[in-house]
Amino acid sequence: MDPHGGAGPSGQELVRRANATARGEAASIARELRAGGEAAWSAPTACAGWTARDVVAHLILGAEVFVTYTQAQLEGRSSPPVTPAARAERQAALRARPDEALLDDLERLTDEFARPLEAQ
- Along the chain (120 residues), what's the average pLDDT of each consecutive run of 10 residues? 67 87 93 95 93 95 89 88 92 95 94 78
CA 12 to CA 97: how far, in whole Å? 35
Predicted pLDDT at 30: 95
CA 87 to CA 28: how far, in whole Å? 25
Predicted pLDDT at 11: 83
Predicted pLDDT at 1: 47
Cβ(60)–Cβ(33) below 8 Å: no
DSSP string, 64-112: HHHHHHHHHHHTTPPPPP--HHHHHHHHHHHHTS-HHHHHHHHHHHHHH
